[in-house]
Amino acid sequence: MFASSPRGRVPAWRLLGAVALLGALSADCGAGVAPPPAAASPGEWVEEEVSFQAAGMTVYGTYRRPARPPAGRGLPAVLLVAGSGPTDRDGNTPLVQGRLDSLKAVAGWLSEDGVASLRYDKLDSGRTGAGRYGGPGAEAIGLAPFEQQAAAALGHLAARPGVDRARLGVIGHSEGALFALLLAAGRIAGAAPVHAAGLLEPLADRYLDVIGRQFDAQVAAGLKGGTVSEGKAAELRRAYAEAVRSLRASGTLPPEVPRELAAVFNPGTARFLAEADRHDPARLAAALKPGTPVLVSCSDADIQVSCADVTRLTAGLAEARAATRLVRLSGVSHVLKEDPSRTPDGYGRPLPFSAELRRALHRFTATALPPR
């Protein structure tokens, strides 16, 4: 499922959201081409190509706005943050065949509700590319470039003519929810204040714990299918636990890592993994201002983030006394499509997006970011 980096390794920021972590156990993703999502009537809303500077590079994105902004009335506006991997502004990635278009669909829904939006090609995706972080000899990438891109994108959105800075929101999908929480909790220096947040199929636990659960599930599947022996499974689990202990203690990896784990744990990924793992989404949620409107979604068909996982996150939101709306979706995949199969095969197929989530977002924006 993974594309190799120039060094033959999977960059760390490509990890979360992947079902296959071990090369020996990986499976191919499904193919397909998705149709464009529903949008506002032609001429009412337009998509404008924009760019801004962040992390020493030019970041490109799409600003979706009314063709004729309402006179004398500020617009509510939302920043959309993509999930892990080389995922572009629309939610697409070369790691999955076909088109996902998850963020493009959400942008269309927001415009139907009178909310402007900005979505961007984050580092290593789309027109933005890898910039100074790509190529031989490039520095190991930590969390900072992604934080800086998210903060700069929010600042660009806040500065757009006609946008009401008092009604700014951020919606993060999967790993993107971590950056949405960092912004909403005021943990990224210099970022514009956020009034409301959406956490769609979110990263709900520390990074290495989430990857660890995916790893355990694959080892268990290998044992069941006869592709992994009991002895090998025990060896891999010990090695994984040791790598986690080392990263959390010193930010470095053990001297030796089994080849089956080398795509995940290698010198090129260690910095990102260690830095991302320092943030506990539940603790960030607990740091939100009381009364912050927050929409959280989970689904019984999401094989990457379960509703049980999200319980930790909602407990943190309860501690903060946030105005939380939790929607438990039925038969919806991790990429927000109606697909009860519980496999990644439908990610890139032309399946409809969740009507249940669409309704929940409409109710949320009507109260949290209402047009004036």
CA distance 281 to 54: 24
pLDDT at 135: 75
- For the record, the structure tokens of 260 come out as 């089956």
Please give the residue range of the domain that contains residue 244. Answer: 12-28+208-275
Residues 341 and 310 sit within 8 Å (Cβ to Cβ): no
Backbone angles phi, psi at 171, to 5 degrees: -125, 125
Same domain, 100 and 239: no
3-state secondary structure of 47: strand
CA distance 15 to 20: 9
Q: Which amino acid is at 254?
A: P
Same domain, 140 and 18: no
CA distance 123 to 112: 29
Same domain, 356 and 313: yes
Residue ending a domain, among 258, 275, 292, is: 275
Q: What is the CATH number of the domain that holds 284?
A: 3.40.50.1820
- For the record, the structure tokens of 136 come out as 């031989």
Same domain, 67 and 168: yes
pLDDT at 139: 72
Same domain, 101 and 219: no
3-state secondary structure of 78: strand
Question: pTM for the whole thing?
Answer: 0.88
3-state secondary structure of 364: helix
Residue 188 lies in a domain: yes
Same domain, 155 and 271: no
Instruction: Give the closest residue to 53 by CA, choosing from 125, 189, 155, 134.
Output: 155
List per-residue pLDDT tens for the chain, 372 residues long: 222 232 333 443 344 433 333 333 333 233 333 333 343 344 499 999 999 999 999 999 999 999 987 766 789 999 999 999 899 999 999 999 999 999 999 999 999 999 999 999 999 999 999 988 887 766 788 999 999 999 999 999 999 999 999 999 999 999 999 999 999 999 999 999 999 999 999 999 999 999 999 899 999 999 999 999 999 999 999 999 999 999 999 999 999 999 999 989 998 889 999 999 999 999 999 999 999 999 999 999 999 999 999 999 999 999 999 999 999 999 999 999 999 999 999 999 999 999 999 999 999 999 999 877
Q: Which amino acid is at 348?
A: G
Same domain, 160 and 179: yes
Residues 123 and 141 sit within 8 Å (Cβ to Cβ): yes
Same domain, 347 and 233: no
Residues 20 and 10 sit within 8 Å (Cβ to Cβ): no
Same domain, 332 and 313: yes
Same domain, 182 and 239: no
Residue ending a domain, among 231, 251, 275, is: 275
Same domain, 19 and 54: no
pLDDT at 137: 63
pLDDT at 245: 97
Residue 33 lies in a domain: no
Same domain, 70 and 162: yes
